[in-house]
C-alpha cells in the first residue's frame, strides 16, 4: 500500500476524523483508488477529473497521470468541433472525483478515453450531493 504520509498531508474535512486516535485509520477514496490501480498492476496514465488529492495518491504509488486543474473554457460549439483534440494514447484509466474545474471539455475528454473498452473507469464516490447545513444550497457531488 502507498506511503500513508502522503495521504496525511491533505486536509481532513470530516468531523468523524476526531473519533480516530491515529490518522492512519482514515482512508480516503483517493488513497483507495491508488491502491486499487496498483493492485491491478496498472502501468498506464490516468486522466483525472478531480482534485490534487487523487493526483498525490497516484504519484505515491508510481502511477502517472495527466494532471489536474482547469481546462480551457470553450465558448461556442464551433470551437469545440474545430479544436484539434489530442488524446494521449498512454491513458488507460479515467478517475472521476470532485472537480471544481469541471467543464464540458473535461467531460468530452473523459468520454473519449472511456470510449476505449480497455479503459478503466473509476468514480471515487457515489454521493449525489455534499451534506450542507444550509438548506437552500445544493453542492453537487460526483454521483
Task: List, for residues 21-41, the tens digit of each pLDDT value.
Answer: 555 667 889 999 999 999 999
Residue 46 pairs with which residues in a beta bridge?
Answer: 65, 93
Give the pLDDT confidence score for residue 14 in this predicted structure: 53
Give the pLDDT confidence score for residue 84 in this predicted structure: 67
Domains of the chain: residue spans and CATH: 4-10+23-123 (3.40.50.1000)
pLDDT, mean of residues 53-82: 87
Indicate whether this model's pTM tops 0.85.
no
pLDDT, mean of residues 1-13: 50
**Confidence at 2, pLDDT banded by 50, 70, 90:** very low
123 by DSSP, 3-state: which? Answer: strand
Task: List, for residues 68-119, the tens digit of each pLDDT value.
Answer: 999 887 777 776 666 667 899 999 999 999 999 999 889 989 999 999 999 9
Q: Is the pLDDT of residue 142 over 80?
A: no
Amino acid at each position: 500500500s502507498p506511503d500513508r504520509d502522503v495521504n496525511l498531508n491533505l486536509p481532513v474535512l470530516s468531523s468523524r476524523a476526531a473519533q480516530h486516535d491515529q490518522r492512519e485509520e482514515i482512508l480516503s477514496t483517493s488513497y483507495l483508488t491508488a491502491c486499487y490501480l496498483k493492485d491491478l498492476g496498472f502501468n498506464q496514465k490516468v486522466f483525472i477529473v478531480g482534485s490534487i488529492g487523487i493526483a498525490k495518491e497516484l504519484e505515491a504509488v508510481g502511477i502517472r497521470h495527466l494532471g489536474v486543474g482547469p481546462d480551457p473554457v470553450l465558448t461556442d460549439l464551433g470551437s469545440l468541433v474545430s479544436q484539434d483534440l489530442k488524446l494521449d494514447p498512454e491513458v488507460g484509466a479515467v478517475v472521476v472525483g470532485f472537480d471544481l474545474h469541471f467543464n464540458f471539455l473535461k467531460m468530452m475528454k473523459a468520454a473519449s478515453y472511456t470510449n476505449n473498452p480497455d479503459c478503466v473507469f473509476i468514480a471515487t464516490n457515489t454521493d449525489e450531493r455534499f451534506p450542507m447545513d444550509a438548506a437552500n444550497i445544493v453542492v453537487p457531488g460526483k454521483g
